[in-house]
Amino acid sequence: MNKQPFAGLLERIDPCCVRIPKSYKPGMRVPGLLFVNDKLLEQARKDQALDQVANVAFLPGIVGASIAMPDIHWGYGFCIGGVAATDPAEGGVICPGGIGYDINCGVRLVRTNLKYRQVKNRVRPLIQALFNRVPAGVGKGGAYTFSDKEMQLLLAEGASYVIGRGLGVPRDLGNTEANGRIEDAEPGNVSDHAIKRGKNQCGTLGSGNHFMEVQVVDQVFDEEVSTAFGLEKDQICVMIHSGSRGLGYQVCDDALVTFRNSHVKYGIDLPDRQLACAPADSPEGRRYIGAMRAAANFGFCNRQLLMQQAREVFEEVFGQTWQDLGMELLYDVAHNIAKLEEHSVEGKKKRLWIHRKGATRAFPAGHPELPNHFKKVGQPVIIPGDMGRASWVLVGQPGSMERTFGTTCHGAGRAMSRTAAVAQTGGRKIDKELEAKGIIAMAQSRRGLAEEQPSAYKNVDDVVDVVDGAGLSKKVARMRPLGVIKG
């Protein structure tokens, strides 16, 4: 494996961005843009992610640049942290590898009116209660099950469907991206196998990097915006990271089978078969888009039900209703999705398919898609870190619209593979190491904790410094972990 790709080829534009020129590979339609400082660039060179950025530049209809965020690392087709805009009016494609297997994997942040002093001596029983209540782990089912007919409604209506069953309140929708529903979903395009896999997985965490974490705000960087978001120092929050589980995985898998020979049918020449795609306006493209939107709606429902369970646990532990505890949803944002959005390209407004894989929207103040209560300050951006350091809330900035199609990073980004992380652990006990730092971690397996140990990730503070410095999103508040549950 080439450990130092692009040596001498990268062009530094500014301290936070470098360019891969189109001349790197014959056939690149646009350059690559990497939002990284020198430290993160050296980390990115350790795998093939930079080459993946160049490969994405071959996609038919791509405009602007093939973009990567500072949490870049190797993925399927696109790198994690990859962003690409394709123009359907110019034969632009839809690419499942640019969305990922876990469609609408995303994160939501729930604030409370609890302060650290009220919680610090009850963290262990709180985390234990969450661990006992919230299903986590590979293939794990949960307390909520849906009939075939109910699944069709859930996939079409998104979070409003489960809220209509008393599992949340209508105001939750106003604090969820797209009001918790991607329109024009086509549940009929979702295979029976995918439906079967998802039937009892709504309201479950899954495994890998998914988690539910109790956090405390330890620093505020922008008083005006933090006040608008309802955040203050020493406040307790709950962060939830999960996606569309087995259903979304199967939707992606089904599409990749369908797209396997699309390159022949549509005369698409690509350097990597993992970038299998089809014109967005083709029958195959439209069918996948309808199924992808349905899976995204499942993801919104999943996080809504996870939040509902967290609210119930807090009620039991603290002896108050979740409303009295102030457990309000700050925001929920997707980071594995493609959406048709209006953007300016060379001075012209165009409707583009924005692929975000391990990347999240960062719309600035005044953007028409923002709910009224965020229009003045901008969209909340939620960036989880690792179990041992920190997570962040930022706010979208105008630079994101100018440079990255309204996009910023989605997390810290892996610094080593899961296999390497486990090998590095040896006989260490990660839960004990975290406990020594004042963090209670509970997981279904020791291997799961080993895969997700803090050193397996880049320092999220470094990643956030880049998107802040590049003008994509601005620092608002930093949270440190108190306790976490994982699969």
Q: Which residues are catalytic?
A: 410
Q: What is the SS3 assignment for 140-166?
A: CCCCCCCCHHHHHHHHHHCHHHHHCCC
Residue 285, both tokens: 């493209």
Name the DSSP letter for residue 120: T
Q: Where are the alpha helices (DSSP H) in 392-429?
A: 398-403, 418-425
Cα angle 43-44-50, degrees, rounded to a multiple of 5: 165
Query: Residue 71, SS3?
Result: strand
Do residues 16 and 67 touch, judged by C-beta distance below 8 A?
no
b (16+ CB within 10 A) / e for 219-229:
ebebeebbebb
Q: Which helix (H) or strand (E) holds 227?
A: helix 223-229
Short-list 267, 146, 257, 263, CA closest to 201: 146
On the CB side of 157, how many CA atoms lie within 13 Å of its CA? 13
- Tokens standing for 293? 């939107």
Alpha-carbon gap, residue 460 to 359, rounded angstroms: 14
Task: State which H helix or E strand residue 449 sits in.
Answer: helix 446-451
CB distance 385 to 457 below 8 Å: yes
Are 391 and 239 in contact by the 8 Å Cβ rule? The answer is yes
Residue 154 CA to residue 158 CA, distance in Å, equals: 5
Cα angle, residue 330 at apex, residues 326 and 336 outer, rounded to 5°: 145
Q: How far apart are CA 128 and CA 21, in angstroms?
A: 51
Quick one: DSSP state of residue 92? -
Residue 441 neighbours by CB under 8 Å, 6+ apart: 127, 387, 430, 431, 434, 435, 449, 483, 484, 485, 486
Q: Which helix (H) or strand (E) holds 308?
A: helix 283-318
